[in-house]
Amino acid sequence: MNLPVVVPRWIQMLYPTGMWKMASDEKKLYLTFDDGPHATITPQVLDMLRSFHAKATFFCVGDNVRKNPDVFQRILQEGHTVGNHTYHHLNGWHTESDRYAEDVKKADELIQSPLFRPPYGRVKNSQVKWLHSNGFQLVMWTLLTSDYDQHLSQERCAKRVIDKLSPGAIVLFHDGEKAEKNMLFALKKLLQHASSEGYQFEAITYKKGSA
């Protein structure tokens, strides 16, 4: 599925409380990774980020944190931030809100972060209200790499995002097996290009109670 790189305005309006871009007049980018931590892929991402002195945000699936606690701890130890991506990678549109809430809470026991990104970007308004009432900040994205798209070449995956970079952009990658090949290639190209353009890479932070 060839989804647009830049999220259309009408989609952003569906979730007006979501964080779609970081306010910044400076050249700062916010790299994010969904679906990990993965035993072998996430460490490769961390190695690459470290070589560019880059910080990022990892939206973790609770069950993957359970499976790979050492990798999760490394993410934190190296100064990155983490967010909740549910425990079982649930599609909110296809999940009863009570079950969704329980799954988020189960993941929160391990992840302990107020940042939340819904798997597939799909979440019901009732679930969004529950998230906000429980202190979570909904974090969406500015630029979609589509690194998971098997029909997208590595070069195209990198170019489609690099061409759209702007200060404050939240870039969505995936540190999972389906995206590995495209993601690692595109991430390196983006880090190289953006660094040469004077960008810095920062992690997303948010404290419960802030608006």
Q: Residue ranges per domain, the chain?
A: 28-201
Do residues 48 and 72 make contact, with C-beta atoms less than 8 angstroms apart?
Answer: no
- Residue 3, pLDDT above cutoff 80: no
Which two tokens mark 38? 């993965």
Confidence of residue 13 (pLDDT cuts 50, 70, 90): confident
**Which has the closest alpha carbon to 32: 206, 154, 208, 196?**
206
Q: What is the per-residue pLDDT across 85-102, written as a single tens digit (0 to 9) for each?
A: 999 999 999 999 999 999
Computed over every residue of the chain, the mean pLDDT equals 94
- C-beta of residue 7 within 8 angstroms of C-beta of residue 142: yes
- The answer to whether residues 57 and 203 touch, using CB atoms and an 8 Å cutoff, is yes
Which pLDDT belongs to residue 12?
86
| pLDDT band at residue 2 using 50, 70 and 90 as cut-offs | low
Exactly one of 25, 34, 47, 163 is catalytic; name it: 34
Helix axes 125-133, 97-111, angle to 10 degrees: 40
Active-site pick, 108, 147, 174, 175: 174
Please give the pLDDT value at position 210: 55
pLDDT tens, 147-187?
999 999 999 999 999 999 999 999 999 999 999 999 999 99
Is residue 174 part of the annotated active site? The answer reads yes
> Residue 211 and residue 200: Cα distance in Å, rounded?
24
Percent of the chain at pLDDT exceeding 90:
88
d(CA 104, CA 176): 20
Return the CATH superfamily for domain 28-201: Glycoside hydrolase/deacetylase (3.20.20.370)
Q: CA geometry: angle at 78 spanning 66 and 180, to 5°? A: 60
Please say if 108 is a catalytic residue. Answer: no
Q: What is the pTM of this model?
A: 0.95
